[in-house]
Amino acid sequence: MFRIERTEFTGGYTAGVLFFMGNPIGFTIEPPWNFNRRNVSCIPDGAYMIERVNSPSRGDCLAVLDVPDRSGILIHAGNVAAESRGCILPGTAIGQINDVRAVRNSRVALSRILEIFDANLPGSMALVVTGIFKE
> Which pLDDT tens digit goes with each residue over 3-22?
999 999 999 999 999 999 99
User: pLDDT tier at 123 (50, 70, 90 boundaries)?
Assistant: confident
- What pLDDT does residue 121 have? 67
> Which pLDDT tens digit goes with each residue over 39-79?
999 999 999 999 999 999 999 999 999 999 999 999 999 99
Beta bridge partners of 133: none
> Which pLDDT tens digit goes with each residue over 72-120?
999 999 999 999 999 999 999 999 999 999 999 999 999 999 999 999 8
Tell me the pTM.
0.95
Instruction: Examine the pLDDT at 38 and tell me if it is beyond 70.
Output: yes
- What pLDDT does residue 124 have? 85
User: β-strand 93-97 against 100-104: which pairing, if any?
Assistant: antiparallel
Q: What is the three-class DSSP state of 103?
A: strand
